[in-house]
Amino acid sequence: MNYGEIITEVFNAVEVENCGGQVSSYIPELAGVNPKHFGVYLTTTDHFEFGIGSCYQKFSIQSVAKVLSLTLAFKMLGEKIWERLGVEPSGTPFNSLVQLETDGGIPRNPFINAGALVICDILVSQLKNPNLDFLQFIRETSDNPTLNYSETMAASEKSVGYRNIALCNFIKSFGNIKNHPGEVLDFYFRLCSIEMTCEELSKTFLYLANGGHRISDNRQVLNASQTKRVNAIMQTCGFYDESGEFTFKVGLPGKSGIGGGIIAIHPGKYSIAVWSPGLNKKGNSCKGIKFLELLTTKTKSSIF
Ligand code: GLU
């Protein structure tokens, strides 16, 4: 398979398309991002890599980081985490409070904000220094000691974080947040502020294509069963209220963020990161989705 040639062809076709996306403006710091950026980076489990466009430019990975927080909580506590949240698509917007009332404070899945906050609470309980220890974990997973939070982005989100503050306090009222909400929220805002390039994103997530093992030295991040489950949740819940359509059109497990980044995994084969900040109405990168749809069609690499 000549991935490089196919990626270049699809990239050039999608780059000139005008899909009318809007850069997310609800976090002030995100609103200033140049909408023209478009980057792609693919890394395969047999050590091929290829990047194009703005693939070496850092961006805010936002909710894509929720896969990494889930990974660490799952690694540390195993199946016990499912006592505090579910694995069903929510069918509601990512930041909705609605279902929590009837569900007694148990979020539907770890990728909506409510679920990610519960995962953050678990990590705040488990880690001695949550910010430092989590950073250490992602640096080890990616074999990249330079990865970091953006304090400016975290502060910017905190300044307008009314809904997440409400969510965290609401879940606390049901007893499903154990720590002080302020501490959990500070960790959550930092988590969302992590910056990576497409190259770094693709390499960091390669463990999910490689049976849970880092590619560089085969060190285990997750066991085989946990890897399968994380990929399954990405497949069913990774794209907000468009997860069904992403499965329909692209056919890979993945996760998007409002910074316009997408990671998609082909278990056994590759991890691919795409970044284009213009979002569609469901909050997913327009060009990112279009690119992946054409790519999996041309390479016949949907998992279905
Ligand atoms: N930090 C954002 C929030 O909590 C993440 C949104 C996203 O990327 O889905 O609203």
Q: Enumerate residues 6+ apart whose C-beta is below 8 A from 22.
A: 278, 279
236 and 287, same domain (yes or no): yes
Return the closest-CA partner of residue 186 out of 136, 121, 122.
Answer: 121
Q: What is the pLDDT of residues 178-214, one digit of tens each?
A: 999 999 999 999 999 999 999 999 999 999 999 999 9
pTM of the entire predicted model: 0.98
181 and 71, same domain (yes or no): yes
Mean residue pLDDT of the chain comes to 97
The pLDDT value given to residue 18: 86
Find out whether 195 and 58 touch, Cβ atoms under 8 Å. Answer: yes
Measure 167 CA to ligand 1 centroid, in angstroms. 13
* Integer angstrom CA distances of residue 253 from 148, 180, 256: 25, 33, 10
Measure 5 CA to ligand 1 centroid, in angstroms. 34
Q: Which of 192, 217, 234 is the last residue of a domain?
A: 192
73 and 178, same domain (yes or no): yes
List, in sequence order, every residue forming a beta bridge with 262; answer none if it has no partner: 256, 274
Domain count, the chain: 2
Instruction: Give residue 270's domain range.
Output: 3-62+194-297
Ligand 1 pocket (Cβ < 6 Å) reads 62-63, 94-95, 113, 157, 164, 192, 257-258
Q: What is the pLDDT of residues 75-117, one digit of tens each?
A: 999 999 999 999 999 988 889 999 999 999 999 999 999 999 9
Amino acid letter, 128: K
List, in sequence order, every residue forming a beta bridge with 53; answer none if it has no partner: 39
Widest Cα–Cα separation across the chain: 54
Which ligand 1 atom minimizes the distance to the CA of 257? 8
* Integer angstrom CA distances of residue 150 from 61, 176, 194: 10, 28, 6
Q: What is the pLDDT of residues 107-121, one digit of tens each?
A: 999 999 999 999 999
Ligand 1 pocket test, candidate residues 96, 111, 113, most atoms within 8 A of CB = 113
Q: Which of 140, 174, 192 is the last residue of a domain?
A: 192
125 and 216, same domain (yes or no): no
Q: Which of 177, 192, 207 is the last residue of a domain?
A: 192
Measure 23 CA to ligand 1 centroid, in angstroms. 13
